[in-house]
A = this chain, B = another copy of it.
Amino acid sequence: MIEVEEAARIIASTVLELPTIHVPLEKSLGRVLRQVVVADADFPPFNRVMMDGIAIRHKDFERGIRDFQILGIQAAGASQKELKGQGSCLEVMTGSIAPAGADAVVPYEEIVIDGKNKIAAVRTDDVRPGKHIHDKGSDKKAGDLLVQAGKLIGAPEIAVAASVGLIALKVTGNPSIAIVSTGEELVDIHEQPQAHQIRRSNVYALAAELKRFGIESAHYHLDDDKKNLTQKLEGILYAHDVIITSGGVSRGKFDFLPEAFEDLGVKKSFHRVKQKPGKPFWFGTKAPGKVVFAFPGNPVSTFLCFHKYFVPWLRKTLGMDRTSHVRAVLGADFEIKTGLTYFLQVKTHINENGQIVAKPNTGKGSGDHANLLSGDAFLELPGNTRVFKRGDVFNLISFRNS
């Protein structure tokens, strides 16, 4: 039996090599970038007008000119025009290129236009060189690094990639993941369970979690017959990079998974972790490139192990540049009986100080999915303490986004 930190360390050292694939820009959301995005031109690419109004020469304004002759319009999307003689101006639109010779924009709000005589009278003293003009290259220069590899692609990354004309992006290919349930008491969800049976649910929970990462998984159910189970597992190991199992790793008479995996050449990294829930967790690898997460069958155990161990591993394997650690305040005194690291089910809220407060969400059925309904995270209470006080701060493992 090993400590939680040791288990996490071993898992983190086991990273799969995944291929680089190209995806169309529109399909890149939620993927991990495997290339850099570089400015193909200056940002902005021209001196860009930032307000609707008139473009003038600041020198004219300095000379005391306040009434400017309107000689035309510089529309957005039109080629650059030129500001002619002294005291002239061009109407300019937001997004247009600043006319050649113009170095200040006065917004419509600060001028009065005499339409008949085409005169714009400036009604402000606050005209400065460059005002309301976003200078070419002032944000980024052509060649500047915009997005680094390893970034999780969100809307801003997609927008910036569009700006520089990338119609496809290099991203990390997803691993092939199998979710395997075991347990003779489990029946399919369309079946009516007998008195001693329940419906499968872990596989649905894990499949949904993987979908949040854009990963479609394959699903299998294995019987508690060691020979059959080993045979089927062999095929599953052959077909997939990552196997996540639930159940079959405790001390029961039919808990054959650890043995079966070892028979198939999967090397055990550890079995049993000093934690509650999820103590019987078994983890192993098989070269080249197979990883096995064998979680205990209790629904909350599987769910906790998935979020505590699998998700950080997946993020690292996908090449994400960072996983932020979230800390939260315990919202009520809590006591534990075991010397094991305790993953407390909690419901979080943000208080008026901007603090994340985690209230215990124990319930009678703390081992069942139904208890997760009213919660959104686990708070990690270290095993070296028994009494935890309201206001203490611990690591938070969230399983909801909103």
Contact surface of A with B, Cβ cutoff 8 Å: 25-26, 29, 41, 43-46, 50-53, 73, 75-80, 91, 93-97, 107-109, 134, 138-140, 146-147, 152, 154-167, 183-186, 189-202, 204-209, 211-212, 224, 247, 250-255, 297-299, 303, 323-329, 349-357, 363-365, 367-373, 393, 396, 399-402
Residues of B within 8 A of A252 (CB): 52, 76, 93-94
Residues of B within 8 A of A364 (CB): 138-139
- Which 4 residue pairs spanning A and B have beta carbons closest together? A77-B184, A139-B365, A156-B372, A159-B205
- Across the interface, do A52 and B199 meet the contact criterion of CB distance under 8 Å? no
Given contacts A75-B254, A80-B196, A252-B52, contact A356 B350 (CB under 8 A): yes
Tell me, rounded to whole Å, the shortest Cβ–Cβ distance linking A56 to chain B.
Answer: 17
| Smallest CB gap from A156: residue in B | B372
Other than the known A80-B196, A134-B365, A162-B204, what 16 A-B pairs have Cβ atoms closer than 8 Å?
A25-B204, A26-B207, A52-B255, A75-B184, A75-B254, A76-B183, A95-B183, A138-B365, A154-B208, A156-B205, A159-B201, A159-B299, A159-B372, A162-B199, A167-B190, A354-B393
- Across the interface, do B370 and A146 meet the contact criterion of CB distance under 8 Å? yes
Residues of B within 8 A of A51 (CB): 250
User: Once the chains are docked, how many angstroms separate the CA of A3 from the CA of B187?
Assistant: 57
User: Once the chains are docked, how many angstroms separate the CA of A279 from the CA of B86?
Assistant: 33
Q: List 16 A-B contacts (CB under 8 A).
A: A29-B208, A43-B365, A43-B368, A46-B195, A80-B195, A107-B251, A139-B363, A139-B365, A155-B204, A157-B373, A165-B189, A165-B199, A325-B350, A327-B351, A329-B353, A353-B355
User: Once the chains are docked, how many angstroms separate the CA of A16 from the CA of B79?
Assistant: 43
Residues of B within 8 A of A158 (CB): 204-205, 208
Tell me, rounded to whole Å, the shortest Cβ–Cβ distance linking A366 to chain B.
Answer: 9
User: Once the chains are docked, how many angstroms separate the CA of A52 from the CA of B198?
Assistant: 18
- Across the interface, do B44 and A205 meet the contact criterion of CB distance under 8 Å? no
User: Once the chains are docked, how many angstroms separate the CA of A352 from the CA of B392?
Assistant: 10
Residues of B within 8 A of A371 (CB): 139
- Across the interface, do A253 and B196 meet the contact criterion of CB distance under 8 Å? no
- Across the interface, do A52 and B329 meet the contact criterion of CB distance under 8 Å? no
| Smallest CB gap from A187: residue in B | B77
Tell me, rounded to whole Å, the shortest Cβ–Cβ distance linking A152 to chain B.
Answer: 6
- Across the interface, do B93 and A369 meet the contact criterion of CB distance under 8 Å? no
| Smallest CB gap from A196: residue in B | B97
User: Once the chains are docked, how many angstroms separate the CA of A360 from the CA of B45?
Assistant: 26
User: Once the chains are docked, how many angstroms separate the CA of A80 from the CA of B197?
Assistant: 10
